Amino acid sequence: MDLDALGSCLATPACVVTQTTSGLIVGMLLFLVAAGVTLIFGVLKIVNFAHGTFYMLGGYVAYTALGVTDSYTLAVLSGTLAMALFGALFERTLISRFYGANVLMQLLICYAVVLIFDDVVKIVWGPEFHAMGMPPAFQVPPFFIAGGVVPPFYAVLIGIAALIAIVLGLGLSLTRFGKTVRAAAINPQMVSTLGVNTTVLFATVFAIGGGLAGLAGALAAPVRSLSPGMGFSILIESFIVTVIGGMGSVAGALVSALLIGMVRGFGTIGFPKFTDGLIYIVMIAILILRPQGLFGRRS
């Protein structure tokens, strides 16, 4: 524990800006993954333990696409679309067999998929770490805010994630599709009776969730290195985010992802060895004081 370092960091604007930026990066990536988890849980009542796999595969697909097309934009798009397709496929072939089944059975299926694709990645891309490298467009000098370094790519990444948050929020509350999704979250039988094809709806929700995770993986690839099993830690964190924010709440996922991001950003200075522990303490405290999460409805 190093409270002096934390205090002196909070006193210098440069350090605050740097740590806030890195906290925002963590938080925004986490939000993209957790938004999918919470959306899928909200509508399908499935806790998707394979969500980290989408994130990992999104990163790897983007890595390969970058090598082929030499365009980072296309790489991100292909990572996102590939995972949206994969999500729909996963829902249709496996998850749909286990609706209403034992939670543990769903967990088992998801874990099997995690195990399989961790090894598939090892076979296709090799067990070693891959670095995607910063796209050339962003290899420019960073700008400074109050003396703190902010790489341009970070700003773009945060911007894209914020845009997604807005689109997702408005889309769910205003569009016809968003309203159908929210209705299906409350009563899927009724929605089905009213003539909505819930089979397509469920697959679409899974595709959106998978696509968001793939997008997060593709966006994270230049910042973090790619490795098999990289989906694992983000999976745990996105669950923490989902639980803190309230299962099924996209707004909650945004707030708690940013909260976790900030705890990470500043925790690494104050409690370098116990940052994870700090996050678990936050989660336990929330679960005891407000089990339904910050934005969750009491069921």
Partner 1 sequence: MKGHTAWRDVAISAVALIAVLAIPLLHRSPAFEDFIIRLSAMALFASSLNLLVGNAGMVSFGHGMFYGLGAYTFALTMQLTNVSLPVAAVLAVAATTFAALCVGAICVRLSTDYFAFITLAVQMLFYSVIISWQTLTGGDQGLRGGIPRREIFGFELTSQLHLYQFCAVVAVLGLLALRHISASPFGQTLRMIRDNEDRASFLGIVLWRARLWAFTIAGGFAGLGGVLAALFVSGAYPELADWPNSGQAIFAVMLGGVNSFLGPVLGAAILLALNDVVTRFTEYYGLVLGIVILVFAVGLRRGVLDFVRSAWPGGAR
By CB under 8 A, is residue 105 in contact with partner 1?
yes
The residue within the footprint of partner 1, chosen from 3, 103, 140, 163 (CB under 8 A), is 103
Give Rg (Cα) of the chain.
19
The residue within the footprint of partner 1, chosen from 6, 240, 250, 258 (CB under 8 A), is 240
By CB under 8 A, is residue 114 in contact with partner 1?
yes
Are the C-beta atoms of residues 299 and 39 closer than 8 Å to each other? Answer: no
The residue within the footprint of partner 1, chosen from 116, 131, 137, 170 (CB under 8 A), is 116
The residue within the footprint of partner 1, chosen from 81, 109, 150, 165 (CB under 8 A), is 109
By CB under 8 A, is residue 239 in contact with partner 1?
yes
By CB under 8 A, is residue 274 in contact with partner 1?
yes
The residue within the footprint of partner 1, chosen from 104, 136, 141, 195 (CB under 8 A), is 104
**Total residues in contact with partner 1, by rule CB under 8 A:** 38
By CB under 8 A, is residue 107 in contact with partner 1?
yes
Nearest distance, CB of residue 277 and partner 1, angstroms:
4
Nearest distance, CB of residue 123 and partner 1, angstroms:
7
Are the C-beta atoms of residues 49 and 98 closer than 8 Å to each other? Answer: no
215 or 247, CB closer to partner 1? 247
x/- mask, partner 1, residues 11-50, rule CB under 8 A, reads ------------------------------------x---
x/- mask, partner 1, residues 190-229, rule CB under 8 A, reads ----------------------------------------
Q: Phi, psi at residue 80, to the nearest 5°?
A: -65, -50
Which residues have C-beta within 8 Å of that of residue 150, sequence separation ≥ 6? 17, 18, 21, 142, 143, 144
Nearest distance, CB of residue 230 and partner 1, angstroms:
14
Task: Write out the residues near partner 1 by the rule CB under 8 A.
Answer: 47, 94, 97, 101, 103-105, 107-109, 111-116, 118-120, 122-123, 236, 239-240, 243, 247, 273-274, 276-277, 280-281, 283-284, 287-288, 291, 299
